[in-house]
Amino acid sequence: MITVMKFGGTSVGSPEALQRAAKIIMDGAGSKIVVASAMSGITNFLVKGAESLPDSRNNIIGEFEKKHVDAAGQLLNGEQMAEFMKEFNIRMKNFGDLLEDEAAAKDPYFKDNITSQGERFSTLILSHALRAAGARSVALTSEDCGICAEGSPLSGSADLQRTESIMAMKVKPYVDDGVIPIITGFYGINGDGRPLTFGRGGSDYSAAVVANAMNADLLEIWTDVDGFMSADPRIIPDAVKIDEMNFGEAAELAYFGAKVLHPRTIEPVRMKHIPLKVRNSFNPEEPGTIIHHLRKPKDDLLRSVALKTDLSIISISSAEIAFHPEMVARIIEKIAENEVVIYSISTSLSTVAFLVHNNDVKSILSKLNTLDPEDIERIDVKSDMALVCAVGDNLLSKCGVSAEIFTAVKEARANVAMISEGASDVSLNFVVPMSRATDVVKILHSKYVGSGSDERL
C-alpha cells in the first residue's frame, strides 16, 4: 500500500506543526511518499520580495534564512542540526546566487524560480525532523524526482506520462527500500529544466501528480480544517464537514473556488481511481472527507457551495450571432490566443457572453479589437462579479429546485447576471455582483444545507 501525504503551509508552518506532521507520517501504515508546501507565509513573502529585486535581496536572504534555521533549531539536536546545515547551506547558496543573477532575472520563468524556493527548505526540515524521530527519509526536489511541467510562467500543468516514467527510476527505489521521500510541492521542471509553478495553492496538484505517477493507493491532503466542508468556513462559520463526495462534485467545487483543493487536483487521481482524503493535521483523530468514484445518494438539497470572486462578464453583441457559428468560433479563437480560463459562456440571438477573471479583461479586449469592426456591434464589460457554484444530488433532478435557489438569491437582493445549469451534471452555477455574493452564500447555506429535499418540495 502506497500513500501520498501532502502537508499544506500551515501544516508545516511552525516547529510544532512540523513535529505534528512528522508524527502523522510515522503513524501512517504502509509505504509513504510526502509532498510539502512552503512554510505558511513564505510564498507570499517571496512573491512580494521578487517585485522589488535587486533592492530586496539582502532582506529576502536574511529573513528567509532566519525563519528556516530557527524552525530547524527547535526540532534538531546539535549533531542533527549540523547534518541539516550541510544540505541547507548548499540550497541557500543556490538561492543566493539566483537572487544575484542578472541574466536569470530576465528569464520569463524567473518568478517561478524565486517563488518555488520555500518548498525546497520546508521539505528539508521535515525530512530531517523525520530522521531525528528515527525514520529513514530523503528530501527530494522536483528536479531530483523528474516532476515534468509544461505551459506558461506561473501556470504550469504536469506532463503525467513523463513524470511517471522518470519517478519510477528516481523515486521508486527509495520507496522500495523503506525510505520516505519528502518532495517539494508547487512546481515541476519544464522542457528546459527550469522550475515552472502550478499556480498558487499548487502543492495539492503536485501531490495528485505524484500519486498518479507512483500509482498510489491513496492520496491524503493534510490541511487546517476537518475536511471538505459545506462552504468556506471563513465565510460560513457553521459550515459542516462532508464525510464523502465523488470526484465530479469535488472537482467542480475546487475549480469554482473551494480553496481547500487546488482547482486541478482531482483529475490526476480520478484518472487512476485513486481515492483522496482531506484531513486536518491539527486534529488527526478526525477521519476527514473521502473523495472517490462512488457516492451514496443523499437527499440534501445543497451539499456544498463555493464562491469564485474577481470575475468579469465580457458580452459581445453582433446581429443574429446565433446564426453565425463561424463568428462565435472567431471570437473564441481570439480569446484562446491569451491562454485565459473561461469560466462560463452563454449566448442569445445577438450576444455571446464570456465569464473570465478581472485580470484577463484587458488582454482579451485587445485581442477582440483586432476582429473585423463590421462583425462586432458592441462589447460590454461588467467587472467585479462572482460565480456561485452549488452542488447537491437533487439540485438538477428535482422539479422546482432552481426556483427555490433563485428565490433565496432574491432575498439577498442580488441580480443574477449569468446562469449555467445542465452543463455539469452535479452543479448549478450562477453569477452575481461581488458585493452581494457573500450574502447569497450565507442565505443559501442557512436555508438548504442539510435540508432534505423531499420535505421541502
Spatial CA neighbour of 41 closest among 144, 111, 118, 146: 118
C-alpha span between 397 and 229 (Å, rounded): 23
> What span, in angstroms and rounded, lies between the C-alpha atoms of 165 and 200?
26
Contact of 432 with 409, CB cutoff 8 Å: yes
What's the half-sphere exposure (Cβ side, CA atoms, 13 Å) at 265?
Answer: 34
**DSSP 3-state assignment of 106?**
coil
Q: Tell me: does residue 185 bind ligand ASP (CB under 6 A).
A: yes
Residues 289-348 that bind ligand ADP (CB under 6 A): 304
What nine digits make up the cell of 452?
432534505
By CB under 6 A, what part of segment 13-42 binds ligand ADP? Answer: 37
Residue 160 burial (10 A CB sphere; 0-12, 13-18, 19+): middle
Residue pair 353/430 in contact by the 8 Å Cβ criterion: no
| Binding letters toward ligand ASP, positions 66-105, x by CB under 6 A | ----------------------------------------
13 binds, among Mg ion, ligand ASP, ligand ADP, none (CB under 5 to 8 A by kind): none
Q: How far is the CB of 223 from Mg ion (least distance, A)?
A: 7
Question: What is the bridge-based pairing of β-strands 2-7 and 218-223?
Answer: parallel
Query: Closest separation between CB of residue 240 and ligand ADP, Å?
Result: 10
CB neighbour list of residue 16: distance below 8 Å, 6 or more residues apart: none
Residues linked to residue 380 through DSSP beta bridges, in sequence order: 315
- Verify binding: residue 280, ligand ADP, rule CB under 6 A: no
> What is the closest distance, in whole angstroms, from the C-beta atom of residue 202 to ligand ASP in the complex?
5
203 binds ligand ASP (CB under 6 A): yes
Which x/- pattern over 162-201 shows residues binding ligand ADP (rule: CB under 6 A)? ---------------------------------------x
Closest to Mg ion by CB, 265 vs 453, is 265
Residues 318-337 that bind ligand ASP (CB under 6 A): none
126 lines the binding site for ligand ASP (CB under 6 A): no
> Which residues lie below 8 Å from residue 396, measured CB to CB, with a gap of 6+?
421, 422, 425, 426, 428
Q: How far is the CB of 201 from ligand ASP (least distance, A)?
A: 4
Q: Tell me: does residue 208 bind ligand ASP (CB under 6 A).
A: no
CB atoms within 10 A of CB 231: 23
Q: Is 43 in the site for ligand ASP (CB under 6 A)?
A: yes
Closer to Mg ion at the Cβ: 278 or 409? 278
Distance CA(232)–CA(241), nearest Å, equals 10
Interacting span for ligand ASP (CB under 6 A) from 196-204, 375-383, 404-412, 446-454: 196-204
Q: Least distance in Å: CB of 99 to Mg ion?
A: 26
Query: Interface with ligand ADP by CB under 6 A: which residues?
Result: 8-11, 37, 201, 223-225, 228-229, 231-234, 258-260, 304
Residues near ligand ASP, by CB under 6 A:
8-9, 37-38, 43, 118, 185-186, 200-203
